[in-house]
Structure 1
């Protein structure tokens, strides 16, 4: 990295390279890092490298995790916190927080929605990381082990492929490569469910908006769990050549919960919408020749984001299931994760190419339909105005006078 800060060397950019393959990305609750952002901005302004008119309200942060694995590649395993500036639509080149994890690759992570740090899935265990520790300045690549906390209930349990909090941050779930699904109360870690045969391997997890349900995905099945009852209540099966890849709960325009499952088929990627009352399919949308490698849903439920093997990012309207925005070659290769901002205004995508990209969501111009009643009234008004205009000019009167003097008219009246 350059010795100078990016504000003095480069123009703001919506794409940054951070030097390690990135496996996970998420937005950080703003209040958890606000003081650090404000402090950085004040130092920047004192140095004269940034305009004091820049608003701190336009600034937020994302957290990125990934690395080279056991270290044979020489690429560090890292958790980074990077600044997002919505005014300039850019990502910071220099992180505001960085912690190196030694030989443990942070393959998956879950951010606590109420500012309680994050949990990372490492090769054999899970660890919780405190935001302040990640953002504390340190020399070189020192690991901040004093800020790491091994989740003892997930120690030496093997690789966890999926982690998730419910929206309140009161329940935490972990799905293992060995097929075990575990659900805990948070932060007490009282066990709600420990199912060793939930799947052959748990690939993805999502809590419903209400927190009542948890959906786990693995192999040919999606299973629906009642969190309070700690029991499976439904199984959602694939059709034909579908291979389920991702699952996400959301809310439709009517305010009803829906479940989206992203699947890959021989023909391309498919988005399947499920009814959360009957657990039956509503509809499916095929994206031909589009192999889905990452999937997410915006917080407002209006947009779906898909990444593919070729590095493209596709954003579609969840109601019409039509393309809203396509970012071709957002990355040099496979897109590993996608995350919408909490206000649904932008999307961060990451990849094995070590890059993070910020995509601002384009606004759809409002289309107004033709108001036929208004058109009819305007036509009537135009007719009336034209009629009186012709009368005022005497055009209509003259025609009537000529007709009254015509011999045929006189004969008809006499008859």
Structure 2
């Protein structure tokens, strides 16, 4: 993956909804190497083979200097826009997808180009907001695509560590290199609350739940040599519980788009996938990056596959060893099978049951004589006793 154009410094998935189908691509930010300049690339993804195309479908050069090397990538939920962070600021690209081709077209964005080195980039789930957190602790939140400023706080933190936006786009959580964490009310453009912690705790990585049913906030908290994953309630920002999952210092944290899994990367190159419902490790990849800290992990939008990156070894594509999800056609097939089984059982019971409608049709029925029940006069001898019935 990293040969030729330099190591992959950052990566992200691109999701394109086309008619009833969803196409998935990967965006790579490559550092320059030799004659190859720093660039952004778009690669195709094959879900059957769990692989990326060997050659990029599109490539855009970021510059010739070392300061033009990519540091982070964020893709708009629609798949139409891509933002790449460098040491100078952020570069904006328009993504144009045709039947067999992809184009990366640079776009001018004065509000982003001169903001300096950014540590965190995040689009809201609805695509209406975009936030960046700088190495200098400066927080900026924009309305997308107008780029109107919703919040501009130069001293939000000492320096940004991590950041995420809630599923309903109402809150933003940010953590600092000094161990503090803060919740922001996006629409009002103000800080809401500081997450509570003891003097010897450091809140490091953070992400909101994504299943839409359980409004939680997940954070990794370090206390000495121990690191645990803590769950906060969004309703009152109180701690609900915690669990030690990876068992070692954690470098990155992310959540799948459907909210069913968390991914935690370590400083020694390991990462694991955690079943959120049970809060248990479902997949473990040891030495995925051979001792180099995992700098980012991102779940594929449609498959149980992740892209993980590290500064030393670049990008790694991993298929998670977790139970397969039910496909839509499988659900319909089960419902059809249940309907047919119910129809067959109904027919069997009908044929073998003493139904009222299966009573004998002859005139000599085993029941009590009709004349006794109705006290009707006797039937003349020359008249058929069954006349008049049906």
Does 2:72 match 1:108?
yes
- Structure 1 Cα separation of the partners of residues 271 and 317 of structure 2: 10
| 1:278-328 Cα shifts (integer Å, max 9, x gaps) | 101111222464221222111121111111222222111113221101112
> Which entry has the higher C-alpha Rg, 1 or 2?
2
Aligned to 1:211: 169
Does 2:297 match 1:351?
no
| 1:329-383 Cα shifts (integer Å, max 9, x gaps) | 22232222111112352222222212322323421799xxxxxxxxxxxxxxxxx
Shift of the 319–100 alpha-carbon distance from structure 1 to 2, 3 Å rule, reads same
Q: 1:81 aligns with which of 42, 57, 79?
A: 42
**Gaps in structure 1 of 5+ consecutive residues:** 1-15, 35-55, 139-143, 367-415
Aligned to 2:15: 29
Aligned to 1:199: 157
Q: 2:95 aligns with which of 111, 131, 138?
A: 131
| 1:92-118 Cα shifts (integer Å, max 9, x gaps) | 222222222122012112111112311
| 1:131-169 Cα shifts (integer Å, max 9, x gaps) | 23999789xxxxx8xx32342113322211111111111
Shift of 1:251: 3.9
Secondary structure (helix, strand or coil) at the match of 1:17 reads: coil
Secondary structure (helix, strand or coil) at the match of 2:213 reads: coil
Does the CA-based 8 Å contact 1:348-1:359 persist in structure 2?
Answer: no
Aligned to 1:403: none
Shift of 1:58: 8.8
Does the CA-based 8 Å contact 1:125-1:150 persist in structure 2?
Answer: no
- Structure 1 Cα separation of the partners of residues 59 and 318 of structure 2: 20
- 1:64-75 matches, cutoff 5 A: 64-68=28-32
**Gaps in structure 2 of 5+ consecutive residues:** 327-390
TM-score normalized by the length of structure 2: 0.74
Does 2:117 match 1:159?
yes
Q: 2:274 aligns with which of 285, 293, 316?
A: 316
- Structure 1 Cα separation of the partners of residues 186 and 82 of structure 2: 21
Does the CA-based 8 Å contact 2:246-2:264 persist in structure 1?
Answer: no
Aligned to 1:338: 297
- Structure 2 Cα separation of the partners of residues 192 and 321 of structure 1: 35
Does the CA-based 8 Å contact 2:47-2:303 persist in structure 1?
Answer: no
Shift of 1:18: 4.3
Secondary structure (helix, strand or coil) at the match of 2:56 reads: coil
Does the CA-based 8 Å contact 1:269-1:292 persist in structure 2?
Answer: yes
Higher normalized contact order (CA 8 Å, seq sep 6+, divided by chain length): 1
Q: Count the aligned residue pairs.
A: 318
Root-mean-square deviation (CA, aligned residues, Å) is 2.9
Does 2:28 match 1:93?
no
Shift of the 301–130 alpha-carbon distance from structure 1 to 2, 3 Å rule, reads same
- Structure 2 Cα separation of the partners of residues 86 and 325 of structure 1: 19
Q: Larger strand proportion, structure 1 or 2?
A: 2
Aligned to 2:322: 362
Secondary structure (helix, strand or coil) at the match of 1:132 reads: strand
- Structure 1 Cα separation of the partners of residues 125 and 267 of structure 2: 30
Shift of the 137–130 alpha-carbon distance from structure 1 to 2, 3 Å rule, reads closer
Secondary structure (helix, strand or coil) at the match of 2:277 reads: coil
Shift of the 344–136 alpha-carbon distance from structure 1 to 2, 3 Å rule, reads closer
Secondary structure (helix, strand or coil) at the match of 1:124 reads: coil
Secondary structure (helix, strand or coil) at the match of 2:217 reads: strand
Shift of 1:198: 0.8
Aligned to 2:185: 226
